[in-house]
Structure 1
Amino acid sequence: MDPDLPQTIDAYLERIGATRPARPDATALRELQLRHLTTVPFENLSIHLGEDIVLEEKALLDKIVADRRGGFCYEVNGAFAVLLRALGFRVTLLQARVHGDDGRLGIPYDHMALRVETDDGTGPWLADVGFGDHAQHPLALDDHTDQEDPRGTFRIAQAPAEGGEDHGDVDVLRGGAPQFRLDPRPRALDDFRVGAWYHRTSPDSGFTRSPVCSRFTTTGRITLKGHRLLTTVGEERHETQLESDQEVLAAYREHFGVRLDRLPSERGAGVSVPNG
């Protein structure tokens, strides 16, 4: 065990504005997920700053805690898993493939999510702080009925078998639309390296096209994509065009706590928040 881990966990809790829970129960998990979502941004800035993405626990904690940055799914969910385990939760890394707008499934290890077991006899829970605009609360993995969440109605449904093999995959749906297909078999952090490499290098990945930084707010979401600042409050969406580089750097600091000395490079357009 890393001798500095207890202090790092304390700093992690301070970073997300949370106190150490008395027990690893469902109430604590719900609070930790919400505080993580509203504090740590979902962002792909390292790809556009030429920074390495290292899928190792210490590197992830350094980025989220010491550097006060965010990351995409492998990073933020990977770090969140370390936090939860240190607090007594039982956590399993799961791989998922994202449903595209055309209905096609993405690559294996397209997305990382977490299966979390608590000590109060509830769950198991699907916890996720790295899927862009998604559920605010953990979802009950074994509940295949509609689950109401402040961000919509979710359902976990049995997925059809593919290629004659049935591993018990499930589809996670929001408002009836499939979001991603979850494989329940346990994975290790190293297993996600190929998916992370694809998303940081492939021109077919939405993450390589434009820098994005986004986080939950109590009323909606705030996103910075290139020079455009988008604020969502309920069903209302407002867009502000930032004219200068200094305005963009200031927006990173003000809205996300991200301090940069230069802008990430911009390669593409679009305003959607990539998932995964």
Structure 2
Amino acid sequence: MRLADYLARIGYRGPIAQDSATLRALHRAHLLAIPYENLDIHLGRRLTLDEEQIFDKIVRQRRGGWCFEMNGLFAWALRAAGFSVRLLSGTVSRGQPGVVEGNHLILLVELERPYLVDVGFGNGFLEPIPLEPGEHVQNGWVYALQREGDRWIFHNHQHGGPGFDFTLEPRALAAFPGQGHTRKTPPGAGVGPR
């Protein structure tokens, strides 16, 4: 796995510095180059959270991925570029029938302030959002972060899908659901995990 191959896959030719400008540029480049894709889930294929296999699928085979793959790969790339990255467990559509706790992987990047980073949320934000309660506007879309005790709630823009909630407790990639399993979409859900 080479950072240069990943950067070529997302079409990024800018400088690599551990700052918010680079983080924003990498986040945007990833989202514009690599589609959210959950075909393997719908086809009942065996899933893996092995970084090398994710790299092969998304970078070498030029496919897309679902949240665990996209954010797992992005975390690897950010770390390879010198960023401090924490994997966090999120839950999309909490309280809905068939929803699995920790069904979404998000990232926290520590810079001059912490940033919520997510390149694997179907129709989410285009650039990292500062981890601060309140509204965050990007490209005319209004997102919001709300804090309730140790839990944070991300509210997607009004035309987007559901948001998610999360805590700041770190989690290893291999600890997320889906490792070594075939994952099926809950009946009537219409989409797989984000």
**Secondary structure, counterpart of 1:77 in structure 2:** helix
Match of 2:147 in 1: 158
Match of 1:190 in 2: 174
Q: State whether residues 21 and 87 of structure 1, in contact with CA within 8 Å, keep that contact through their aligned partners in structure 2.
A: no
Match of 2:32 in 1: 38
Flag the 1:137–1:274 CA change in 2: closer, same or farther, 3 A. farther
Q: Do structure 1's residue 75 and structure 2's residue 64 form an aligned pair?
A: no
Per-residue deviation, 1:195: 7.8
Flag the 1:70–1:175 CA change in 2: closer, same or farther, 3 A. closer
**Structure of higher RCO (CA pairs closer than 8 Å, 6+ residues apart):** 2
Identity across matched positions, percent:
36
- The separation in 2 between residues aligned to 1:97 and 1:50, in whole angstroms, is 22
Q: State whether residues 86 and 108 of structure 2, in contact with CA within 8 Å, keep that contact through their aligned partners in structure 1.
A: yes
- The separation in 2 between residues aligned to 1:10 and 1:56, in whole angstroms, is 20
Aligned-residue RMSD, C-alpha? 2.5
- The separation in 1 between residues aligned to 2:180 and 2:151, in whole angstroms, is 21
Per-residue deviation, 1:155: 1.4
Match of 2:151 among 169, 172, 189: 169
Which amino acid letter does the alignment assign opposite residue 151 of structure 2?
D
The C-alpha deviation readout for 1:200-245, integer Å capped at 9, x for no partner, is 2253484xx5xxxxxxxxxxxxxxxxxxxxxxxxxxxxxxxxxxxx
Which amino acid letter does the alignment assign opposite residue 58 of structure 1?
E
Match of 1:237 in 2: none
Per-residue deviation, 1:193: 3.1
Task: Tell me which structure has the larger Cα radius of gyration.
Answer: 1
Per-residue deviation, 1:175: 4.1
Map 1:5-154; keep pairs closer than 5 Å: 5=1, 8-19=2-13, 21-99=15-93, 104=96, 106-118=99-111, 121=112, 123-141=113-131, 143-150=132-139, 152-154=141-143
Q: State whether residues 154 and 175 of structure 1, in contact with CA within 8 Å, keep that contact through their aligned partners in structure 2.
A: yes
Flag the 1:66–1:81 CA change in 2: closer, same or farther, 3 A. same
The C-alpha deviation readout for 1:47-92, integer Å capped at 9, x for no partner, is 3445432101111111111111111100111011000000011111
Match of 1:201 in 2: 184
Q: TM-score, normalised by structure 1?
A: 0.63
Q: Point out where structure 2 has 5 or more consecutive residues left out of the alignment.
A: none
- The separation in 2 between residues aligned to 1:41 and 1:66, in whole angstroms, is 14
- The separation in 2 between residues aligned to 1:13 and 1:135, in whole angstroms, is 20
Per-residue deviation, 1:148: 0.8
Which amino acid letter does the alignment assign opposite residue 191 of structure 1?
A
Flag the 1:204–1:24 CA change in 2: closer, same or farther, 3 A. farther
Q: State whether residues 74 and 196 of structure 1, in contact with CA within 8 Å, keep that contact through their aligned partners in structure 2.
A: no
**Secondary structure, counterpart of 2:167 in structure 1:** strand
Per-residue deviation, 1:46: 1.7
